Chain A
């Protein structure tokens, strides 16, 4: 805990100095970069001791024990600070080009505050401490989202985010009121005690929590703030929102599960179904996007769905007394949280580099960037493979755990067997993700350049190293899962109140070595095939030609398949569900995208609410006598109420 406090102080000092030294950009950037990195690493070091100990161990210190660490908090803190450190390094390079028109120092200070607030949320031990950190986080993130506030769409995205984040906060206020209101509980320990004594409306608390944390995490239909905000923010902030801040919602749900004790079965099924819906719809909507960052944002929705699926399975497994299923689901959810933080931040780093080099986020105007920025293309490829959940990368490990949990649920008895059907839904999401990322990587980096002449020339400088670090971690977790699985299983077991015998814990972590073996086998097979290929006669008989184009001379790069045409055949199967509309015009295929929830449901509903409110405006006559009438009738009404109550 002390190390964590020291680390966070370092982050804060670095942020403040970056703001104060605005006049000396070089020094400010260096101080912020290395100060934040050092602070994050120090903070991470403070969490490591929690992964080896039995789950009961926890420590609380500072600020009247308002903040403390236990394995669950430590798990999230480590991820937040680890990814946060790379984001700070990337961010200084990324933002340096915005000087001197913008106050880059303010962005750095806000980033530092946001990192501290995020850590505060996952380490809070009292209701007030939690909500305070929550609100600081929400506001700091909002200020960062509207950093480019001279654009109208950025302001609109900021407004939608602000509304949704406060809906979330209201739901959380309601949750804590329903939970602790009757008992006067103020700390999490007291909340847990109140739950253990069955004195709280569990259903209400669980629903309000699901709404509040669900909106923050981006669970459909609460995802509507997410694509706009991610696209509007500077790229390293997008990485922070998607890779880190969404996970706060997941943490909240996990903490609630921990404190509430055994949850009703229907809640588990609800979370499972919501997860499935979120995963499939998220990736489907992602497929339709032609803005690079909006596409990635919708993919975060998909991944939150996958995490939720694991979380729901964990709750169901413990409700039906199947510890192995519960552990698999929960471990999968925890590990996917980490994995998504890693590869989604990496993807946003790549998107930022593309934006810097090519000057646009319009996927259909880009192409052939691999020649210009090979290292970004390589890192982006690794992240793409990981996010699709393909072996041998980290996304596969967590999706495998969740798949396995779903299938093991099928091997049990009773109603839990129904959960196994969800495996098909997860498979659909995975296959659609494959379509989506072959489209994205293929159109961005491969083929020949399209409309936009790339700026090139050193624009990528400084943006590559953080990408390589994250890519290396993705590869390490994918190839050597036995390094992280035992810790993940212990944290999961703690969330589920120590469910699962030692045998179950070993069983979950046990297959990890076989997977490493399989990854090794894949590498060896690849090398063998490569060597065979290299000794074939063809190795000396290589000819370079133009791409074969049906015996026509190659015309122009505009005949290439675009992102729109690549996704068109899949989207047309899903019709209006995909939220896209295909128009074939004289100059080619155009796909119009809308968010089915935001643009077809939320906005029209808001319009009707506004109309109704306008009708209500008639009571505002502006004449004093009417207001006196209102005040007096309200008073009389209250008196009547009191009198009725006393009789």
Chain B
């Protein structure tokens, strides 16, 4: 506590700045692979700036919860970012079991957004909220199984420890488990960030949407907050995946930062590749995919518990 945690702060600021680029990279990859020019990588920055200057339309049905939703969502996602050891060593806030708080804060965001959707009294948005919590119900156990794999592999129960030096030391001993866990985490990432094959951010029909339809009535700066929080959440999950495959704790700070950015970009490209090579699953198949992700992490656990 004696010195200011310079690198964690720098890493957090970097992540906050680059976050809107990640969906851009994923979308650009997709358009490149499917032979289209596609939107610029930095499109979301322009969208956010445009939305921020616009006015808002509120439904007469809504209450204060509708206005509170985006604010709580962003605040919770920002705090979740502060719990991750983004520079590879330390997090701004760290305590034993902080991974529960990480999942809890994302859950808080989901809770208020689902309520905001119900607040409009729209059947579309009720449908979106219902689907969102359904998907999350199966993603959450997979996420915790992945965390448990990391706990067993490293013997640490805080995110900074799990992603720190003990992880580098665990790789030679537990490589198969860690690869499986990273695969499982990647599927969870696809679900949590509403990408193909779970959800399609580019779909046009409300009836086929999950996340998009949940935020249908938000407009202007509120929508900007939601879009930014979504991009940040994607970045955080990409950092979780990249952190397993590319432990950075033993590298010098500058190199660790570069490795983080590279890792984020690679995960975003991977998301884009997945979106190009497969179509989205039927809604009632999505739980099966996520249960498969749990099974992957479960196998990883069994390998460790032998």
Give the interface of A toward B (CB within 8 A): 367-368, 370-371, 374, 377, 381, 384-385, 388-391, 396, 399-401, 403-404, 407-408, 410-411, 417-418, 420-421, 423-428, 430-432, 434-435, 437-439, 441-443, 446-448, 507, 511, 514-515, 517-518, 521-522, 525-526, 528-530, 533, 536-538, 540-550, 557, 559-561, 565-570, 572-573
Contacts and interface: CB of A to CB of B under 8 A. Distances in A.
Nearest to B105: A391
Q: Interface centre among B52, B63, B123, by most A CB within 10 Å?
A: B123
A385 B65 CA distance: 13
Given A525-B78, A545-B59, A561 B134 contact: no
B130 A536 contact: no
Nearest to B157: A407
Contacts of A367: 121
Given A403-B100, A544-B60, A549-B122, A566 B55 contact: no
A566 B129 contact: yes
Contact of B121 (A403, A448, A540): A448
A567 B137 contact: no
A439 to B, nearest CB: 8
Contact of A542 (B56, B79, B134): B56
Contacts of A529: 71, 74-75, 78, 225
B40 interface: no
18 contacts: A407-B147, A420-B301, A428-B141, A439-B133, A446-B115, A447-B119, A448-B61, A514-B94, A515-B101, A522-B79, A525-B78, A529-B75, A533-B221, A537-B54, A538-B53, A561-B127, A566-B129, A573-B138
Contacts of A400: 97, 100-101, 104
Given A411-B155, A547-B217, A566-B129, A371 B79 contact: no
Given A407-B157, A431-B140, A435-B133, A536 B101 contact: no
A106 B99 CA distance: 50
B221 A446 contact: no
A546 B96 CA distance: 47
B193 interface: no
Contacts of A437: 111
Nearest to B206: A550
A431 B140 CA distance: 7
Nearest to A420: B148
A536 B49 CA distance: 11
A-B residue pairs, 5 tightest by C-beta: A561-B126, A541-B55, A442-B118, A404-B97, A447-B121
Contact of A404 (B54, B76, B157): B157
A427 B123 contact: no
B289 interface: no
Contacts of A561: 118, 123, 125-127, 129-130
A316 B179 CA distance: 31
B110 interface: yes
B106 to A, nearest CB: 10
Given A427-B144, A529-B225, A566-B129, A410 B152 contact: yes
Contact of A546 (B59, B70, B82, B225): B59
A511 B97 contact: yes
Interface of B: 52-63, 65, 70-72, 74-76, 78-79, 82-83, 93-97, 99-101, 103-105, 107-108, 110-111, 114-115, 117-127, 129-131, 133-134, 136-145, 147-148, 151-152, 155-157, 206, 216-217, 220-222, 225, 283-284, 287, 294, 298, 301, 305
Contacts of B298: 421
A435 B55 contact: no
Contacts of A399: 100
A411 B97 CA distance: 12
Contacts of B96: 404, 408, 507, 511
Contact of A550 (B78, B124, B221): B124
B132 to A, nearest CB: 9
Contacts of B152: 410-411, 417, 420
A590 B120 CA distance: 23
A388 B109 CA distance: 13
Contacts of A547: 59-62, 120-122, 217
A359 to B, nearest CB: 21
Contacts of A557: 121
A390 B75 contact: no
Given A410-B151, A420-B152, A529-B75, A438 B108 contact: no
Given A438-B114, A533-B71, A368 B121 contact: yes
A536 B97 contact: no
Given A388-B111, A511-B95, A548-B216, 16 more contacts: A390-B108, A396-B104, A401-B97, A404-B100, A404-B157, A411-B152, A411-B157, A424-B142, A434-B107, A443-B118, A446-B65, A507-B96, A542-B57, A544-B60, A545-B60, A550-B206
Given A421-B148, A438-B118, A514 B95 contact: yes
B126 to A, nearest CB: 2
B131 A447 contact: no
B137 A435 contact: yes
B126 A526 contact: no
B221 to A, nearest CB: 4
A480 to B, nearest CB: 15
Nearest to B119: A446
Contacts of B78: 525, 529
Contacts of A565: 126-127, 130
A411 B55 CA distance: 52
A403 B103 CA distance: 12
A619 B105 CA distance: 67
Given A438-B129, A542-B58, A407 B71 contact: no
B206 to A, nearest CB: 6
Given A538-B221, A543-B58, A388 B148 contact: no
A557 B82 CA distance: 42
Contacts of A568: 130
Contacts of A549: 122-124
B95 A515 contact: yes
B101 A518 contact: yes
B63 A446 contact: yes
A424 B117 CA distance: 28
Nearest to B137: A431
Given A390-B107, A431-B137, A420 B151 contact: yes
B107 A388 contact: yes
A323 to B, nearest CB: 15
A517 B140 contact: no
Q: Interface centre among A407, A411, A570, by most B CB within 10 Å?
A: A407
Nearest to B76: A522
A538 B56 contact: yes
A5 B159 CA distance: 49
Contacts of B220: 536, 538, 541
Contact of B63 (A370, A417, A507): A370
A569 B115 contact: no
Nearest to B54: A538
A571 to B, nearest CB: 9
Given A446-B121, A547-B120, A547-B122, A521 B79 contact: yes
Contact of A560 (B107, B121, B134): B121
A585 to B, nearest CB: 18
B247 to A, nearest CB: 18
A154 B152 CA distance: 50
B294 to A, nearest CB: 7
Q: Interface centre among A431, A441, A443, A565, by most B CB within 10 Å?
A: A431
Contact of A572 (B74, B94, B143, B284): B284
B125 to A, nearest CB: 8
B141 A431 contact: yes
Nearest to B77: A525
A391 B143 CA distance: 18
